[in-house]
Amino acid sequence: MTEIVHTGRNNTNTVIFSEDGETISFDDAISMELTLVGIGVIADTLINPALIDFSAGDGVVTFNLGSLDDVPNGKYDAELAVFDAQHLDGQHIADPNDPNMADLIFIFVD
């Protein structure tokens, strides 16, 4: 999945995550953490819950990253980790290094 982030704008990016044809439930999720490869962690819902919304259900995650004007324009592979009571250290659901996981790419533009 490739998503375009317009920095300085209120656009959101909505992604539906699934595994083996079934949407992933985030009902038990406590938080999420988004890392851009080469940049580092840019969104942690424990610090700023407005950046990632996973409350819609049915595998839907909405990213609101337009306010992150400190991310340089460019194309970034992303890792998304989900934290819950059973995975306190997080569990990746998107990872560019794992061919069995979703590819998640963000392109940041002005």
Predicted local distance difference test score (pLDDT) of residue 51: 96
pLDDT of residue 102: 85
pLDDT at residue 76, rounded to an integer: 97
pLDDT of residue 66: 94
- Give the C-alpha separation, 89 to 51, whole Å: 20
Burial of 27 (0-12, 13-18, 19+ CB in 10 A): exposed
Low pLDDT (below 70) residues in the chain: none
Report the pLDDT value the prediction gives residue 22, as an integer from 0 to 100. Answer: 93
- Alpha-carbon span 26 to 61, nearest angstrom: 9
If you count them, how many residues does the chain have?
A: 110
3 state DSSP class of 96: coil
pLDDT at res. 71? 94
Contact predicate 86/35, CB 8 Å:
no
Query: If one looks up domain 2-109 in CATH, what number appears?
Result: 2.60.40.3350
**Spans of all domains in the chain:** 2-109
Q: What percent of the chain has pLDDT over 90?
A: 86
Write down the pLDDT at residue 101.
Answer: 86
